[in-house]
Amino acid sequence: AWGGTLYTKGGLVWYATLDGYLKALDNKDGKELWNFKMPSGGIGSPMTYSFKGKQYIGSMYGVGGWPGVGLVFDLTDPSAGLGAVGAFKELQNHTQMGGGLMVFSL
């Protein structure tokens, strides 16, 4: 995970992964209850808000920063980007460029 977690009153723990999944776990046993494959890697921490009595979960996606330096600049030398290109070389097999915000209602 590139960001933190979000805990909801219903006992769910939410987080996003660099390979593009938004996941919800049961707080009691850690069992994965739900996941969704976003178009690109998750960045930051998921957020929640309510509107007209309904709760929503949102997560930003779009690999950037050091993990995405190889994708952004099409670098292949493993030592480029202070070694980030080599460290995250498999990331290109699991995500694509671009970013946005995914929002789901609970």
Structural domain includes residue 88: yes
Calculate mean pLDDT across residues 31-56: 93
Q: Please give the Cα distance from 44 to 47 (Å, whole number).
A: 9
The confidence band for 55, taking pLDDT boundaries of 50, 70 and 90, is: very high
Nearest to 6 by CA among 59, 67, 51: 59
Q: What is the pLDDT of residue 78?
A: 75
Structural domain includes residue 12: yes
Structural domain includes residue 17: yes
Q: Please give the Cα distance from 18 to 41 (Å, whole number).
A: 4
* Distance, CA of 23 to chain centre: 9
Question: What is the tally of structural domains in the chain?
Answer: 1
Residue 81 clears pLDDT 70, i.e. is over it: no
pTM of the entire predicted model: 0.72
Structural domain includes residue 1: no
Domain residue limits at 31:
6-105
H/E stretch holding 66 reads: helix 65-73
Under DSSP, the state recorded for 70 is H
